[in-house]
Amino acid sequence: MRFGLFIPQGWRHDLVGIEPAQQWGVMAGLARRADENDQWASLWVYDHFHTLLHPTQEATHEAWSLMAAYAGITSRIRLGQMCTCMAYRPPAYLAKVATTVDIVSGGRVEMGIGAGWYEHEWRAYGYGFPPPKERLGRLREGVEIMRQMWTTGSGTLDGTHYQVAGALNFPLPLQGSSIEGSPANGIPLWIAGGGEKVTLRIAARYADYTNFAGGSLPDFVHKDELLRGHCAAVGRDDAEITRSTNLDVVIGHSQGEIDDRLAGIRDRASSEAVCRRTRSRRGCVTTQRRRAAARPSNSSSVSPPSARQGWATPSPTSPRRPMTPRASRPSSERSSRNSRDVRTDVAAGHTYGCGLVRVEFGGRTDVAAGHTYTCVPLRDLFREIGVERAWRSPRPVSTRHTRR
């Protein structure tokens, strides 16, 4: 079993309170730390432009720009996205970008690709929001183009959604040409999503890896059985495909620290629900400040952004913030730090700072030897405060949601 981690990039409000000039220092520092620790096999970014649960004016950095940057500052760790949205970039262009990053990184790119789902983001950037059938059709045609360009140096397809004619891709990616890579694709290809009729069928034909995000072990086993059936239907050995999943993990030195962090997640999610209803960024910040001011000093709530400036790891050119031993810090400070973000505790200098991990083959495993931890489905927390569907666009859409 191998582990990877997501580096904060803003999508899940994991850079709030950090000045833009310091954000790359935070991200780069975490990437270097993971690169130096061989217990981490890979680092990952999201491919999103707007924050979750709803769009705000908080930072969200672009995925493939970060991929190129991480390629230049790391030397060992694998680099992936979970997952790139096929329709956000033309597939021939995307194949070329991935090839260049693979060369810059010395052959360490993993291509995670999916059909896309964040409707508000799609519409805001002018992509429309086609129905699932079209999005999945784009996914299938796009991975065919990428496979051709990575393995032959040229892509040609007269498809329903994409038409390319002799799109050249030289030099080839290092993986599959000068160093070992995917036998079928060159750059290893991850098909993300668990759609049972279409997505898993695409995975059976093209994927080196699948990713069934979240869910329970029975769900994972069910998807695995369906994938086996699709592989049999196309004449492929399912053992050629590695299965993976994502788990939200909260790591702490004690159960009390974990409870503090979980309380912080609930508080932040609740604040986001208030923001979503007000539809005003200024109103959101004001609401959070009022909520924080109304609590006693030992509350585990999220402190307002002004109280958190400079909390995370400074950039390489900035002086390191002096640390106070954990046991000697007041409980109010410990609570504030713990609830700041479920995924990062870089100020404390922990190697296992990011709590969102990728677990290949599933299971709940001791991701950080000597640390207690718990797996918490964030959807359960959202249900508690009534925002289970908060990530959906408020615009009316078709009431028919066919699961594929």
Residue 141 in contact with residue 161, Cβ under 8 Å? yes
Residue 375 lies in a domain: no
Exposure class string for 99-129: b at 16+ Cβ within 10 A, else e: bbbbbbbebbbbbbbbbbebbbbbeeeeeeb
Q: What is the pLDDT of residue 247?
A: 77
**Residue 190 structural domain:** 3-249
Residue 212's pLDDT is what? Answer: 86
CATH code for the domain of 42: 3.20.20.30
Give domain status of residue 171, yes or no: yes
Q: Answer whether 0.85 is exceeded by the pTM.
A: no
Q: What pLDDT, on the 0 to 100 scale, is given for residue 267?
A: 75
| Residue 53 belongs to some domain of the structure | yes
Q: Which residues of the chain have pLDDT under 50?
A: 276-379, 381-382, 384-404
Confidence at residue 366, expressed as pLDDT on a 0 to 100 scale: 34
Domain membership flag for residue 363: no
Model pLDDT for residues 100-147, shown as the tens digit of each residue:
999 999 999 999 999 999 999 999 999 999 999 999 999 999 999 999
Contact indicator for 44, 78 with CB cutoff of 8 Å: no
In a domain, 59, yes or no: yes
Residues making up the chain, counted from first to last: 404
Look at residue 173 and tell me if it is in a domain. yes
202 within a domain of the structure (yes/no)? yes
Residue 303 lies in a domain: no
The confidence score (pLDDT) of residue 114 equals: 97
- Output the pLDDT for position 270: 63
DSSP secondary structure of 154-194: EEEEE-SS-EEEEEE--SPPSBTTTB--BTTTBS-EEEE--
Q: Which of 223, 242, 320, 356 is nearest to 26 (CA)?
A: 320
Alpha helix ranges (H) inside 235-330: 255-278, 281-293
For 140, 157, 227, the CA distances from 199, given in Å and listed in that order, are 9, 20, 10
User: How many angstroms separate the CA atoms of 392 and 385, rounded?
Assistant: 16
**How many domains in the chain?**
1
